Amino acid sequence: MEKYAIEGTPKTPTISFDIQNGVLEIKGRSIPENSIEFYKPLVDALDKYSSASKPSTTVNIQLEYFNTSSSKCILDVFKKLEAIHKGGSAVTINWHYEEDDEDMLEAGEDYQAIINVPFKMVQVAE
Amino acid sequence: MIDAYNIYDNMDRNNILLSFKGDITSELLTSILQIMENKMDNMQEEPKTKKKVYNVLVECLQNLYHHMDDATDGNGDKNRSAIFMIAKNNGAYNIITGNYILNENIHGLKSRLDEVNALSKDQLKDYYKSVLNNGEMSLKGGGGLGMIDIARKTGEKLDYNFLEIDNKVSFFTLIIKVTQPQLI
């Protein structure tokens, strides 16, 4: 498996995980009623990746909305990335937020405070 | 005969943008969120306001979806139906939800709401982070973050009421106010 991809829907984000190049992208909206079910395959894919990770791993998160049901799952994803980071792949998480979206910036800072991986806060135009 | 005018007039006077009574399903939530997004676009709301209302709406509706008790109503019928309304008064959005709750569950919910209401902005942030990172995941996936998130994003107290229907169930009403963020 060299790529892992999921098309977005009105309630779930587009996910693309380019394992060959160590690039994970999560974009769009994450507001499913059952987020555990949605995120499990990604968490499993990261588990597999951790045993054969690339020297560096880049993670781009660009969410427009996410619900509290997703927030714990996103934390699980970040915890996997933390383990990968400790395991020797230099992980960077680029957390994108629209310029007027203070809530999204704060949400990124919350994760940054919990997870021991370099975060970059990236402001994007609306 | 149903007095439609009475209902219309009542909704009109209370500036109700949308109201629904019935079963809360996943498909329904998708439609409602879409309708509200279109409405706010048509009303040319600031992107900031739109985002805030949308976020809070998602949490309120999913709270209803996940936490509605299989309560019986006053007639002893199984009742998973609920009501919710969205109103706009003087520039502020009000999101109102109502559902049956078993009397035995009131105490737990009330103390959680009071706990959240007692916290300042900074305390809410710390509380959110500690619950986020407590390793517990409810089967429903929320893990108890919903109310904290709503209080944090709105900066308002959670306004609620329990109306006793009989010795088994009460009707729980939650009113969330979302004011327009200050334009800088």
**Using one digit for the tens of pLDDT, what is the confidence trace for B115-141?**
999 999 999 999 999 999 987 765 555
**Using one digit for the tens of pLDDT, what is the confidence trace for A43-64?**
999 999 999 999 999 999 999 9
Measured distance CA(B136)–CA(B134) in Å, rounded:
5
C-alpha distance from residue A115 to each of A55, B32, B94, B129 (Å): 20, 35, 35, 11
**Which of A12, A33, A38, A39 is the mutation pick for testing B, counting most B CBs within 10 A?**
A33
Say yes or no for a CB contact (<8 Å) between B143 and A72.
Answer: yes
pTM of the model: 0.91
Helical (H) or strand (E) element with A15: strand A14-18
Whether B83 shows a pLDDT value over 70: the answer reads yes
Residue B184's pLDDT band (boundaries 50, 70, 90)? very low
Q: What is the rounded average pLDDT of the residues A92-118? A: 95
CA distance B146 to chain A (A): 6
Say yes or no for a CB contact (<8 Å) between B141 and A72.
Answer: yes
Measured distance CA(A103)–CA(A99) in Å, rounded:
11
Average pLDDT of every residue of chain A: 94
Q: Which residue has the tokens 């009131």?
A: B106
Q: How many residues does chain A have?
A: 126
Q: What is the pLDDT of residue A53?
A: 92
Say yes or no for a CB contact (<8 Å) between B47 and A98.
Answer: yes
Q: Mapping DSSP to helix (H, G, I), strand (E, B) and coil, where does residue B120 land? A: coil
Please give the residue range of the domain that contains residue A33. Answer: 3-124
Identify the structural domains of chain B with CATH numbers, from first to last: 4-178 (3.30.565.10)
Measured distance CA(B34)–CA(A31) in Å, rounded:
13
- Structure tokens that stand for B93 in this block: 């959005």
Count of domains in chain A? Answer: 1
ipTM entry: 0.92
CATH number at residue A77: 3.30.750
**Chain B contacts in chain A segment 59-78 (CB below 8 A):** 65, 67-69, 71-73, 75
CA distance A79 to chain B (A): 10
**Which of B51, B66, B121, B178 is the mutation pick for testing A, counting most A CBs within 10 A?**
B51
Say yes or no for a CB contact (<8 Å) between A65 and B55.
Answer: yes
**Using one digit for the tens of pLDDT, what is the confidence trace for B12-58?**
999 999 999 998 899 999 999 999 999 999 999 998 899 999 999 99
- Give percent of chain B above pLDDT 90: 72
Q: A116 to chain B: which residues are within 8 Å by CB?
A: none
Q: What is the pLDDT of residue B69?
A: 60
Least confident of A109-123, B67-81, B148-162: B67-81
